[in-house]
Amino acid sequence: MIGAAIIGLGYIGKVHLQTLLRIPGIKVRALVGGRRLERVRELADTYGIPIATNDYRDLLDDPTIQVVHNCTPNHLHYEINRAFLQAGKHILSEKPLATSSQETAELVRLAEAGNLLTGINFCYRYYPAVQEAAAKVRKGELGDVHTVVGSYLQDWLLYDTDYDWRLEQSATGQSNVIGDIGSHWFHLAQFVTGSPIVEVMADLKTTRPVRKKPGPEGYEEYEVKVEDYGSVLIHFANGASGVFTVSQLCAGRKCAIDLQVYGFDSSLAWNHERSTELWMGYRSQANQVLMESPFLQHEDAKRYALLPTGHPMGYHDAVYNLFRDFYENLKLKLEGKEPKYPVPDFGEGHRELLVTEAILQSHREKRWVKVL
Ligand SMILES: NC(=O)c1ccc[n+]([C@@H]2O[C@H](COP(=O)([O-])OP(=O)(O)OC[C@H]3O[C@@H](n4cnc5c(N)ncnc54)[C@H](O)[C@@H]3O)[C@@H](O)[C@H]2O)c1
């Protein structure tokens, strides 16, 4: 059995825990929480997990743990990922990989130096319809891609009483919405097109610059310094152009990811609110909608369609698909073989930080900025 630990047990930490229970050959041996130790113990006992602590350093020298899942808020990603890489552990981290590209470059260096496997939970690309979209582009079915447009819209920060650590620079880093959900969108766009974003021109905004932060005696006014809206023009290495918009204040949009890819022969579109479907558009024939299917998809995308056609998969299954590829790669690595599945790694996490920083710089300087 491979031993795993999960650090951070909020929303996504629990998704990691539930997903790990589905992966054969893995035993979750430790849970690390942020605050009340008794709550961590209670959760660990519920799942029969032997170690419960609120100090991740307790695990650095534990030989029963080979893999660490880092599900803490953004500002802790660097410190915790670095400590475990230095301790020789493989890591599956949450995004954004860290809060600056200096930090992410250092993490990439440490992973390479330690010959350690890394992964980042860019889970949306693991929906079977998204894998099929990427396979269609790879196989040239769209012709050369010329235009990519889309958005990632949410509404959970619409009211001035909505509050979260993502609004505080000390926890979220330089960026809120671009790093949080923009990174998911541009990771998807680069994955489906198979082409990196090389240049950006951004317009960002803090739609609600003052919010009511909950305190011990009701609310206090809090001045928000990070953006909650962004629209970005993008250029891809393959010559395609595009634009995307992200916001956390669009009433009615919960987790609305929209990606549209246009080629010279045909188009495709995917929307997270109808995640099982892939729309294919044509100039001279009727458009089509493919439902995810282990029978109807391309050979290299079938692997991700886990259920018989007509049985819809969901978010947990997308995360499962990523974890399964990560752990199958790890098993190969531990047997001295080459990992064979293309899981987003710390190298890709570093690139997403470079794109984020170029977007922030472009907004500050009001000009196109190259992604270095
Ligand atoms: N891949 C995805 O789809 C996805 C979705 C949600 C969140 N995320 C990422 O996951 C991370 C966590 O987000 P969340 O929404 O779960 O936040 P959250 O606030 O729900 O959970 C964070 C948890 O970390 C704990 N924590 C804080 N300091 C800690 C420490 N030193 N040691 C251990 N635990 C500590 C907190 O107590 C809290 O329970 C963020 O970086 C976010 O960007 C990714």
Tens of pLDDT along 251-302?
999 999 999 999 999 999 999 999 999 999 999 999 999 999 999 999 999 9
Same domain for 103 and 141, yes or no, is no
Query: Residue 139 sits in which domain range?
Result: 125-313+352-365
**Residue 215 has what pLDDT?**
92
Q: Same structural domain for residues 80 and 19?
A: yes
Kind and range of the H or E element at 102?
helix 101-113
Q: Are residues 146 and 287 in the same domain?
A: yes
- Number of Cβ atoms within 10 Å of the Cβ of 299: 7
Whether 234 is in the pocket of ligand 1, judged by its Cβ within 6 Å, is no
- The DSSP symbol for 123 reads G
How far CA 219 is from CA of 55, 211, 212, 223, 227, in Å, comes to 30, 9, 5, 13, 21
User: How far from 283 is each of 138, 214, 262, 319, 326, CA to CA, in Å?
Assistant: 20, 53, 11, 35, 39
- Report the chain's C-alpha Rg in angstroms: 21
pLDDT at 124: 98
Edge-to-edge strand order for the sheet containing 369-370? 288-291, 277-281, 267-271, 256-263, 145-153, 241-247, 229-236, 197-205, 369-370
pLDDT of residue 217: 87
Task: Name which residue sits closest to atom 29 of ligand 1, judged by CA.
Answer: 34
**Ligand 1 centre distance from Cα of residue 73 (Å):** 4
Judge whether 114 lies within some domain.
yes
Neighbours of 224 (CB within 10 A): 21
Tokens of 203: 């317009």
Nearest atom (ligand 1) to Cα of 14: 16
The answer, yes or no, to whether residue 31 has pLDDT greater than 90, is yes
What predicted TM-score, i.e. pTM, was given to this entire model?
0.98
Best mutation site among 7, 12, 315 for ligand 1, i.e. most ligand atoms within 8 A of its Cβ?
12
Structurally, the chain folds into a number of domains equal to 2
Average pLDDT estimate for 184-203: 98
Classify residue 181 by its DSSP letter.
I
- The pLDDT assigned to 65 comes to 98
Of the chain, the percentage scoring pLDDT greater than 70 comes to 100
Does the pLDDT value for residue 9 go beyond 90? yes
How high does pLDDT run on average in the chain?
A: 98
Domain co-membership, 113 together with 57:
yes
User: CA-to-CA distance for 251 and 292, rounded, in angstroms?
Assistant: 29
Is 370 part of any domain?
no
**Any ligand 1 atom below 6 A from CB of 180:** yes
**Spacing, Cα 243 to ligand 1 middle (Å):** 29
CATH number for the domain that contains residue 92? 3.40.50.720
Same domain, 151 and 24: no
Give 32-71 pLDDT, tens digit per residue.
999 899 999 999 999 999 999 999 999 999 999 999 999 9
Tell me, yes or no, whether 339 and 242 share the same domain: no
Q: Is the CB of 176 under 6 A from ligand 1?
A: no
Please tell me the distance from the alpha carbon of residue 229 to that of residue 346, in angstroms, as a whole number: 26
Does 38 share its domain with 81?
yes
Residue nearest to atom 31 of ligand 1 (CA): 34
6 CA → ligand 1 middle, Å: 11
Residue 372 lies in a domain: no
Q: Both 156 and 281 in a single domain? A: yes
To test the pocket of ligand 1, the residue of 71, 181, 188 to mutate (highest count of ligand atoms within 8 Å of its CB) is 71
**Whose Cα sits closest to atom 20 in ligand 1?**
10
Q: Residue 35: what pLDDT?
A: 84
Provide, for the chain, the percentages of residues in helix, strand and coil under a 3-state DSSP scheme, each rounded to the nearest 5. Answer: 35, 25, 40
Share of the chain above pLDDT 90, in %: 99
Residue 85 is predicted with a pLDDT of 98
139-175 pLDDT, tens digit each: 999 999 999 999 999 999 999 999 999 999 999 999 9
Please give the average per-residue pLDDT across 326-353, as a whole number. Answer: 97
- Using a 6 Å cutoff on CB, does residue 71 contact ligand 1? yes
- Confidence band (pLDDT; 50, 70, 90) for 113? very high
Same domain, 106 and 238: no
